[in-house]
Chain A
């Protein structure tokens, strides 16, 4: 036990003291958040004013067109085409719409917007929308004698709400947020398994190719060496994760202070769920979103996340260690040997994407119990609610299976590891590794 601790400490310190650790741990989230911030900033930021003159010779707009924010429409009369063009070159106008006499919108004639320079995508869409709205309004007035507003009020649907038999009202925002949180957690576990799993594998390969394995194994048992490495790297992952969480929390508090107008958007974007976005927009309230967020049991999610992170990591890292010990100098061997291990992880992400849409389906339940996929799938289901979506028995059973699973893989891997780490030369086949796993001593 003591020796595992000594090994784990070296593995931990040798990684944490590297400059690259600081870089990836602190700079990476800042860069990601920075990019994120920039994207949001530019998409929200008001663009330059854009003025379009409308020479409505056929009176199709009836003098009415939505002219607000950055895009302004000005009706002009008695101005010739050349005059308009001249105004554009003088930069008094950004563009104009020339509606010829006898233009009939009901016939589907084309209206062209002439501008001095190419119009940006956002503005282009906005201009199209407003012109069409104005035309639609006119068409409705002329043929049905009603305004667009009246039509909209007729067409507005009633709100349909969902609630469970326990009388709990499930608002859409909450489902949306659960979706987002679930997806994010499942995906993070997936990434973690890959990053730290391969880190363990590379560490083992390094020991083998440097020929230090035998030196160490004459002092400690192979199992201690393997567990020490796994523990040490797991601690690195945990520390990195805690730093990221802390950074995310601080950045989320600090960032909106700098750009107040971004506040709402960042909140929504952070949970990346389109449903949430729509609902929030419709009710136009941050409160709704906050309500939804507060209904999600974050302490439970974070607790489970750490459990599944550790469980999944322990389960897979020992397998990665076994593969690392079997590989010789050639890194290509590693690729072909890791394939059977990466398959269930990828399988897990596939089940997760289905589970996130239907968290109570049989596939989702199976995926969240089966220890090779449960860290990913269960983490995607938990945000939907315990015990509503995930009954307690499933959670407990899934955790038990995961513990059994990692004990099992560690046991098998340790057996492969102790033979393979001292074996040089030819790459072992799966059959040989299977034999080692079941061999006595």
Chain B
């Protein structure tokens, strides 16, 4: 399928740091895309350029096959920033209507869509309440609705689950899947890796303003695998050492092992078969995204970057 968004050599320098330093990637239509990175990596700046809030210093953005035109393309984008809020004193129905109209919907159209979404997420009784009467989770739901209300082609969600209880988080997650199935592309920015692993098709990891990882979740895991396997044997064997592997951990008859360079998993299995030891299970252990993330980011001084001056 075609790319909905292509970033070409985007750069954005601030006075004191290179917030985004030559980043390019493509996002396919209908993908759930994870944009990952530690705090201060340049994610928010990148997202602000994609939403037309900032202009890149250099590089260009192609949206839906054409050069990105913030003025007109904004209606096709729904952005839920990490720093988000609502007018506290405004009634919820009016607020949703206002934000929808700002996106360019007509009043009647907006009304119809708000009713649809409020019904879907069981928010109908909230219409005349004020935001200050809502709990954090409730206002989060409202915020989500106002982001996706105008059925944008591209939905950008920055930490969408923060502050949500598991029930509501699942509700939103299902809606995200639904939106993707109906053809929307979703950019999902977070540092909660287990969510990324669960939801995203494709990820990009940025650190210190540069892209350091790009690929599907499965590819990335393959790329960072360390040839670790778990094996469960029938009975507790003795003298299992072999040149093909090292045992990292043993719990009764379950072993975690690392296959040595030059050997394959078949060599390991063969070893046990030859010794007449029954094999109950044998699994490859892929690294979690969390591990990969930590491995790549740790020790890069990303945290102290914000305080460094560019010389």
Residues of A bordering B, CB below 8 Å? 3, 6-7, 10, 14, 210-212, 214-220, 422, 424, 435, 441
Contacts and interface: CB of A to CB of B under 8 A. Distances in A.
B53 A217 contact: yes
Given A14-B90, A441-B55, A215 B98 contact: no
A214 B84 contact: yes
5 contacts: A10-B98, A215-B84, A216-B99, A216-B102, A422-B53
A218 B101 contact: no
Contacts of B102: 3, 6-7, 216, 219-220
A430 to B, nearest CB: 16
A241 B84 CA distance: 36
Contact of B85 (A211, A218, A422, A435): A211
B51 to A, nearest CB: 5
Contacts of B74: 218-219
Contacts of A435: 15
B83 A218 contact: no
B53 A218 contact: yes
B79 interface: yes
A178 to B, nearest CB: 45
Contacts of B90: 14
Interface of B: 15, 48, 51-53, 55, 74, 77, 79-81, 83-90, 98-99, 101-104, 143, 146
Closest 8 pairs (CB-CB, A-B): A211-B85, A218-B79, A210-B85, A219-B102, A214-B81, A212-B85, A211-B83, A441-B55
A218 B86 contact: no
Nearest to B158: A214
Q: Which of A6, A218, A424 has the largest count of B CB atoms less than 10 A from its CB?
A: A218
A210 B87 contact: yes
A3 B146 CA distance: 17
B99 A218 contact: no
A210 B90 CA distance: 12
B98 A219 contact: no
B103 A219 contact: yes
A422 B54 CA distance: 10
A219 B96 CA distance: 13
Q: Which of B52, B84, B85 has the largest count of A CB atoms less than 10 A from its CB?
A: B85
Contacts of A7: 102
B181 to A, nearest CB: 24
Nearest to A421: B53
B98 A214 contact: no
A432 to B, nearest CB: 9
Contacts of A219: 74, 99, 102-104
Q: Which of A10, A211, A212, A219 has the largest count of B CB atoms less than 10 A from its CB?
A: A219
B88 A214 contact: no
Contacts of A422: 48, 53
Contacts of B87: 14, 210, 212
A218 B81 contact: yes
Q: Which of B77, B79, B81, B88 has the largest count of A CB atoms less than 10 A from its CB?
A: B81
Q: Which of A3, A212, A424 has the largest count of B CB atoms less than 10 A from its CB?
A: A212
Given A212-B85, A215-B99, 14 more contacts: A3-B104, A6-B101, A10-B98, A210-B87, A212-B86, A214-B84, A215-B80, A215-B84, A215-B85, A218-B52, A218-B77, A219-B99, A219-B103, A220-B102
A14 B86 CA distance: 14
Nearest to A220: B102
A350 to B, nearest CB: 38
Contact of A14 (B53, B81, B89): B89
A216 B79 CA distance: 10
Contacts of A211: 81, 83-85
A424 B53 CA distance: 16
Contacts of A3: 102, 104
Given A218-B53, A422-B53, A210 B101 contact: no
A7 B104 CA distance: 12
Contacts of B53: 214, 217-218, 422
Given A3-B102, A219-B99, A220-B102, A210 B86 contact: yes
A214 B103 contact: no
A223 to B, nearest CB: 12
Nearest to B107: A6
A441 B11 CA distance: 14
Contacts of B104: 3, 219
Contacts of A210: 85-88
A399 B48 CA distance: 40
A219 B81 CA distance: 12
Contact of A6 (B77, B84, B86, B98): B98
Nearest to A424: B83
Contacts of A14: 87, 89-90
B294 to A, nearest CB: 27
Contacts of A441: 55
A236 to B, nearest CB: 15
A3 B52 CA distance: 16
Q: Which of B52, B53, B80, B103 has the largest count of A CB atoms less than 10 A from its CB?
A: B53
Q: Which of A10, A220, A435 has the largest count of B CB atoms less than 10 A from its CB?
A: A10
A380 B77 CA distance: 52
B30 to A, nearest CB: 22
B92 to A, nearest CB: 14
Nearest to B101: A6
Nearest to A3: B102
A212 B84 CA distance: 5
B89 A215 contact: no
Contacts of A214: 53, 81, 83-84
Contacts of A10: 98
A3 B98 CA distance: 10
Nearest to B48: A422
A316 B228 CA distance: 68
A426 to B, nearest CB: 12
A215 B143 CA distance: 9
A350 B256 CA distance: 84
Nearest to A441: B55
Contacts of A218: 51-53, 74, 77, 79, 81
B159 to A, nearest CB: 13
B88 A215 contact: no
Nearest to B131: A210
A439 B176 CA distance: 39
A343 to B, nearest CB: 28
A329 to B, nearest CB: 13
Contacts of B101: 6
B260 to A, nearest CB: 51
Nearest to A215: B84
